Amino acid sequence: MLLAALIGVMGGALPAQAADAEGRVIVRFKESAQSVRAQALGHASTVGEARQVAQLRADAMGLRQGLALRARLSLDERTHALSVSGLGSDELARRLARDPEVEWVDVDHRRRRALLPNDPLYATALPSGPEAGQWYLKPPGATVVSSINAPAAWDLTTGSSSVVVAVLDTGIRKDHPDLTGKIVGGYDFVAYQNGSIAQANDGDGADPDASDPGDWVDQADLNAGGLGSGCTSSDIANSSWHGTRVAGLIGAASNNGLGMAGVAWGARILPVRVLGKCGGWDSEIQAGMRWAAGLAVPGVPTNPNPARILNLSLGGGGSCGASYQSTVSAVVAQGALIVAAAGNGQETPGNQGGVAVTAPANCAAFSSGVIAVAALRHAGTKVGFSNLGPEVTLSAPGGNCVNVDANGNATGPCLYPMLATSNSGSKAPVAADNAYNYGGVGTSFATPLVSGTAALMLSADPTLTPARLTQLLRGSARAFVTSGAGGSVPQCRAPSSTAQLECYCTTSTCGAGMLDAAAAVQAAAAVSTPTATITASASTVQTGASITLSGSGSVAAGGRSIASYQWSITNGSGSATLSASNGASVTLSGGSAGTVTVRLTVTDSLGVSASQDLVLTISATPVSNVSSGGSSGGGGGLAHPGWLLALALAALALGRPGRPSAGAASAHGA
């Protein structure tokens, strides 16, 4: 499937002639192709070897097509990004698709961080309302109804360090105090294999340093021409520190008396840098996706910390083409969930959002392992900038920095921005900067709330698959609101070329509902219940005797532990007593004869419980076990079996021939 065109700047179209100055495509060669058989490429190949093989294949195909093709990078042993000067990407894709050695071709789009469009209706300002701070994490209330109720989720788990979330973005400022100790490994794919060093902005190509050097663009960058024709004056801006902001929303250190709280503050963050100045290319993003999930990428060391969740707060127009489908399939098969922003509009001039979901989020229509996230206002309505459509999986708070009326006109200052970790440098970063940004809004910031929740769910049950995570997130979502936003707010409709501002969500436009972190984690925990097991030292206990019951064989699921034991006697025809109601082991003492049912309920460390019943027999004390004298019986009586036996023996003795007894009359008369 061919993608449409190079992606323009959010909120502004690229000139057609500039976008087509250099054609870039992703090509997958057939396994039977002569060039594949002639030049093998293995996972262990070095960067130089991978580049050489890719260029040899590009040269061979270029000779057949009459093109001077340049190999950019290799995604796997048969898939390469190629470019050519003087020919548009669409035309290049069409020509190469006809080559007999090609399995499929996609345009290699430039993708952008899914930030707020450069539009005054969504201008940022310092918070001035009563809900300033992290309103989006709190329990929902009368005013803020879209918040995700993270505190109730934290009652169950704050995240496990064994769960790794990959942030595929501009890189991360690892020296931010609220991210210190949260980062594990990482890799920089910007300018990977013949890429633009100017776009990378860190002086080199791909390497293990995923730090964000800043992604500012100024007129000097454009004048130098190193960023390519796809970078225009619309890109001029200060550094966004976008990856750092996303990382903080997912897992900023919490309960440390500093700054802000992340959703999954016990999880770890894997930075994968795929965006530089003016964004990043699909090929670099897809290589980063594969590597993040633990898949081999030619010329790159294997990731020793594979991520279970990939956060993609980026996107652009076009469909989920063959290259993304191939990458998604491989990543999901590896057991990693992909969470992607639905997008904030597209490249139409003046567009304010509310159009069709962009790539790669629209891959959710192709795979249940992809979650597309739309953004909500505090009131639960779709925020104006957020895209929408049937591909959306669910929605989460994305911030609404200014109040607007039904016509999109600003009516007040910024009240509901998203607080995130950041850096105060306008261009290059300030070292160890403890900066926080209140101005963030966008589907970029709704997405990490879902990624963080998924990390909590995997902490509750690490066996959950991407498809099961998606199912539980959808099933636990709260229903969309249908009123209460004030004014004349319409119902959201199917996406078209016409922008939709604030509207009441439906399940066909904004997904299954509003993210509920607490309900999602509870649902994940309940999937794996503990197993209660009772072992008894005997299956029968005599009246007055006792046996030992043990629950130590009970086990918790999902890496959890048994937190408590609760014992009880539920019913039966007999009676018994327990030495205690808790503890791994107890003693049961027999009372009256019959049967009793003993129940053990175990509760794991996340509060999930399970029970087992055991039926025991209480037997009367056998005659052979009781002394004939009955002196231990405490007073005896003729009904006592020991006295009956003594009387019987005496009677036999009195009745023997030749042995009369003087006491016989007294005995009979008694």
- Secondary structure (H, E, C), 33-89: CHHHHHCCCCCCCCHHHHHHHHHHHHHHHHHHHCCCCEEEEEEECCEEEEEEECCCH
Residue 458: its pLDDT value, please? 97
Cβ atoms of 114 and 107 within 8 Å: the answer is no
Q: Considering only CA atoms, which of 79, 57, 56, 58 is closest in space to residue 67?
A: 58
pLDDT at 652 over 70: no
Is 242 annotated as catalytic?
yes
Instruction: Tell which wins on pLDDT, 450 or 135.
Output: 450
Distance CA 187, CA 418 (A): 27
149, 267, 309, 533 from 455: Cα distances, Å: 15, 7, 7, 30
- Dist. CA 417–CA 420, nearest whole Å: 9
Does residue 326 carry a pLDDT above 90? Answer: yes
Does pLDDT of 509 surpass 60?
yes
Residue 461 has pLDDT above 50, yes or no: yes
Instruction: Please tell me the chain's helix, strand, coil percentages from 3-state DSSP, rounded to the nearest 5.
Output: 25, 25, 50
CA distance 580 to 6: 71
Is 17 exposed, middle or buried (CB count within 10 Å of its CB: 0-12, 13-18, 19+)?
Answer: exposed
d(CA 643, CA 527): 62
621-647 burial code (b ≥16 CB/10 A, e <16):
eeeeeeeeebeeeeeeeeeeebbeebe
Q: For position 47, what pLDDT does the model report?
A: 82
pLDDT tens for each residue of 84-95: 999 999 999 999
Rounded to an integer, the average pLDDT of 404-427 is: 76
Rg (CA), the chain: 35
Q: At what angle do helices 443-460 and 466-476 cross, to 10 degrees?
A: 110
pTM, full prediction: 0.78
The C-alpha atoms of residue 235 and residue 247 are separated, in whole angstroms, by 23
Q: Which residue has the higher pLDDT, 650 or 468?
A: 468
Active site residue 169: yes
pLDDT classification of 520: cutoffs 50, 70, 90: very high
| Residue of 35, 211, 444, 451 marked active site | 444
Mean pLDDT (whole number) for 249-262: 87
386, 375 contact by CB (below 8 A): yes
Prior bond of 360 cis (ω within 30°): yes
Residue 333 pLDDT greater than 90, yes or no: yes
Domains of the chain: 16-107 (3.30.70), 110-527 (3.40.50.200), 535-621 (2.60.40.10)
Please state, in angstroms and as integers, the Cα–Cα distance from residue 200 to each residue in 212, 227, 284, 446, 589, following that order.
10, 9, 12, 26, 75
Identify whether the C-beta of residue 228 lies closer than 8 Å to the C-beta of residue 199: yes
C-alpha span between 509 and 388 (Å, rounded): 5
Q: Where are the beta strands (DSSP E) in 524-665?
A: 535-536, 540-542, 546-550, 562-571, 576-578, 585-590, 594-604, 609-619
State the pLDDT at residue 430: 96
DSSP secondary structure string, 333-365? HTT-EEEEE--S--SSTT--S-SPPPBTGGGGG
Q: Give the CA distances from residue 211 to residues 299, 303, 308, 444, 582, in Å, rounded to whole numbers and listed in that order.
A: 20, 17, 21, 19, 52
Active-site residue, selected from the candidate residues 106, 169, 215, 221: 169
Residue 279: partners with Cβ closer than 8 Å, 6 or more residues away: 7, 110, 111, 112, 113, 314, 316
**What is each CA distance from 35 to 81, 298, 609, in whole angstroms?**
16, 17, 59
Taking the C-alpha atoms of residue 313 and residue 172, their distance in angstroms, rounded to an integer, is: 13
- Rounded to an integer, what distance in angstroms lies between the CA atom of residue 560 and that of residue 342? 34
pLDDT in tens, 599-619: 999 998 878 899 999 999 999
Lowest mean pLDDT among 124-128, 168-172, 251-255, 429-433: 124-128
Tell me the CB-side half-sphere exposure of residue 637, using CA atoms within 13 A: 5
| pLDDT one-digit tens code per residue, 474-495 | 999 999 999 988 778 999 999 9
**Residue spans of alpha helices (H) in 129-184:** 150-154
Sign of CA dihedral 263, 149, 245, 196: positive
The per-residue pLDDT for 550 is 96
Active-site position among 242, 283, 378, 604: 242
Q: Are 505 and 381 in contact (CB under 8 A)?
A: yes
Q: Please check whether residue 518 is in contact with residue 149, taking contact to mean a CB–CB distance below 8 angstroms.
A: yes
Least confident of 159-168, 222-231, 286-295, 405-414: 405-414
Nearest-10 crossing angle of helices 466-476, 517-527: 130
The segment with the largest mean pLDDT, out of 184-193, 277-286, 438-447, is 277-286
What pLDDT does 360 receive? 96
Q: What angle do CA 193, 195, 197 make, to 5 degrees?
A: 120
